[in-house]
Amino acid sequence: MGLLQGVRVLDLSRVLAGPWASQLLADLGAEVIKIERPGAGDDTRAWGPPWWDEAAGLSAYFLSANRGKRSVAVDIAQAEGAALVRDLAARSQILIENFKVGALRRYGLDWEALRAVNPALVYCSITGYGQSGPNAKRAGYDAAIQAEAGLMSLTGEPASQGGAPQKVGVAVVDLMTGMYAVAGVLAALRHAERTGEGQHIDLALFDTQVAALANQASNYRVSGEVPARHGTAHPNIVPYQVMPSADGWFMLAVGNDAQFRRLCLRLQQPEWADDQRFASNAQRVANRDALIALLRERLQRQPSAYWIEVLSNDGVPCGPVNDLAEVFASAQVEARGLRLDLMDAAGQAVPLVANPLRFSATPVSYPHAPPALGGDTRAVLQSVLGLTGTEIQRLVGQGIVT
């Protein structure tokens, strides 16, 4: 039995932040109904190649964030279509949407309208900049938020070396926002179950990224100094960065003085650990360039695999810089079951990536492969709203659902 069995989530979101949240809720056992625009659906259905099934609107991107859901294609611009979604909201515990601020009001699907039909509804709005402030009406996209909220200023090679700001290789702002959304809706659901009172959650990509600046934000708030880019290096810990070897690169992540001493012993340079320039982490940060130059010279004498083996055996954190082929071929991925294949309606195994949560009593479940656009419209309208086949056929004929 799933942890969230009996919880229905109405998902009016698209692209990544909202769908990432609703996918996690589906993994935890919630019934997730994804509302999509007929003929087009979630924007990411068209974000290919690569494709799993182009005709069904199943791009690789869409697959990454939509397992476990049922797709209902309904035109909310038509009054009867909006009424169908309103009826579904009346029978749901959670709603997630990422329309522009105020856009759902014209359809009677805003928080105020839906709380009138379902006072216990937990309604989560995900926008670029939130429901208030001078930027509230601006559209928000992950890469733009990475830039505006400071993450790109911290990412990339140092400016002193001619490095430009870089975005992270995946849409981390969307992903973090999705995770905050899950925490928020589950906390609000707990409140609703105790009191019968739902509430509106106002969640912004911009706010999420500012909050997720974490130690870098704290560094600035405490010191007043704007942090610089350090490439793969850590602003507060040294040595903690990608290092060259005889055949490439590996990541060295020395987190304390004891680990640094073991590193020096393995490099046959024990005196470095007692050198006043390097004896403590604070001294190593102050003398970063001198230490890194010494380490680079020594580490380039052996291949990465050698260093990873001997340093790991000495308890010095390090690891390879793997590409995705190497990641998914690794014994650790195999042991942890991170490659996931789900059967679709045609009996084909859809290649996905598993949820990382491991519960001792209530394991994560995967009830459905990512759905084709409108693949569940009839089933949901019948099972949840009690519509007859004749009524559904009339809606199809009028272009209200597909």
Query: By the 8 A CB rule, do 199 and 218 touch?
Result: no
Phi-psi region at 348: left, alpha or beta (left = phi > 0; alpha = psi -120 to 50) = beta
Q: What is the pLDDT of residue 346?
A: 84
Q: Containing domain of residue 30, as a range? A: 8-211+334-397
Pair (125, 64) in one structural domain: yes
In tens, the pLDDT along 261-317 reads 999 999 999 999 999 999 999 999 999 999 999 999 999 999 999 999 999 999 999
342-354 average pLDDT score: 92
Q: Give the global pTM.
A: 0.94
pLDDT at 345 over 90: no
Pair (109, 202) in one structural domain: yes
Question: Quick one: tokens of 57?
Answer: 């609107």
In tens, the pLDDT along 374-402 reads 999 999 999 999 999 999 999 999 999 99
Whether 220 is covered by a domain: the verdict is no
Pair (113, 247) in one structural domain: no
In tens, the pLDDT along 54-67 reads 988 999 999 999 99
pLDDT at 153 over 80: yes
11, 27, 75, 174: the catalytic one is 174
Cβ burial, residue 386 (10 Å; 0-12/13-18/19+)? exposed
Pair (34, 170) in one structural domain: yes
Dihedral pair phi/psi, residue 172, rounded to 5°? -65, -30
149-161 average pLDDT score: 94
Using the 3D structure, point to which of 256, 288, 321 is the last residue of a domain: 321
Query: By the 8 A CB rule, do 27 and 357 touch?
Result: yes
Place of tokens 């850590």: 234
Q: What is the pLDDT of residue 310?
A: 96
Query: By the 8 A CB rule, do 36 and 71 touch?
Result: yes
Pair (143, 206) in one structural domain: yes
Torsion over CA of 73, 79, 84 and 87, rounded to 10 degrees?
Answer: 150
Angstrom distances, CA of residue 213 to CA of 147, 179, 209, 221: 12, 15, 6, 11
Percent of the chain with pLDDT over 90: 96
Using the 3D structure, point to which of 271, 296, 321 is the last residue of a domain: 321
Q: Which of 261, 266, 259 is nearest to 315 (CA)?
A: 259
> Is 289 an annotated catalytic residue?
no
Strands (E) in 54-130, as ranges, are 58-59, 69-73, 94-97, 122-127
Q: What is the pLDDT of residue 1?
A: 74
Q: Which of 134, 128, 161 is nearest to 147 (CA)?
A: 128
For residue 323, the one-letter residue type is D
| Cα–Cα distance measured from residue 401 to residue 378, given in angstroms and rounded to the nearest whole number | 9
Query: By the 8 A CB rule, do 177 and 96 touch?
Result: no
Domains: count for the chain: 2
Question: Quick one: tokens of 91?
Answer: 């029978």
Angstrom distances, CA of residue 118 to CA of 88, 231, 239: 10, 50, 55
Query: By the 8 A CB rule, do 29 and 188 touch?
Result: no
Strands 69-73 and 31-36 turn out to be parallel
Number of Cβ within a 10 Å radius of residue 128: 25
Pair (260, 374) in one structural domain: no
Pair (343, 315) in one structural domain: no
Tell me the CATH number at 88.
3.40.50.10540
